[in-house]
Amino acid sequence: ILNVEQSPQSLHVQEGDSTNFTCSFPSSNFYALHWYRWETAKSPEALFVMTLNGDEKKKGRISATLNTKEGYSYLYIKGSQPEDSATYLCASPYNTDKLIFGTGTRLQVFP
């Protein structure tokens, strides 16, 4: 089974700070890289899905990049707000049908 790793495990930042986290995955047999945002007691929600090396996606203050050759993706949050507090999960398909998740990065933004 694929090993998807995320770092750091948790992050505490002040409101207004910019931050980033990393997702590492095996670069061989790559299909896609997913990012999800998960607030406690809610459903995980999709942020981005990237399939091509060099892909960059942006949604408001959140953006992501993908490097399939070296097997990593970065998620950036510009000017963090308290409502950005959540766990951010990345995932990559193993074979074609199994989406394997990392353990997540828990972000807390303090006012």
Partner 1 sequence: NAGVTQTPKFRVLKTGQSMTLLCAQDMNHEYMYWYRQDPGMGLRLIHYSVGEGTTAKGEVPDGYNVSRLKKQNFLLGLESAAPSQTSVYFCASSYLPVYSGNTIYFGEGSWLTVV
Chain residues that interact with partner 1, rule: CB under 8 A: 1, 31-32, 34, 41-46, 49-51, 89, 91, 93, 95-104
Q: Is the CB of 18 or the CB of 46 nearer to partner 1?
A: 46
| Residue 78: CB minimum distance to partner 1, A | 23
Q: Is the CB of 1 or the CB of 83 nearer to partner 1?
A: 1
| Residue 84: CB minimum distance to partner 1, A | 19
Phi, psi of 87 (to 5 degrees): -100, 130
Longest Cα–Cα distance of the chain, Å, equals 43
| Residue 16: CB minimum distance to partner 1, A | 29
* Alpha-carbon 19 to chain mean position: 12
As a dihedral over the C-alpha atoms of residue 105, residue 63, residue 18, residue 90, rounded to 10 degrees, the angle is 10
Q: Is the CB of 14 or the CB of 28 nearer to partner 1?
A: 28
Q: Are 12 and 21 in contact (CB under 8 A)?
A: no
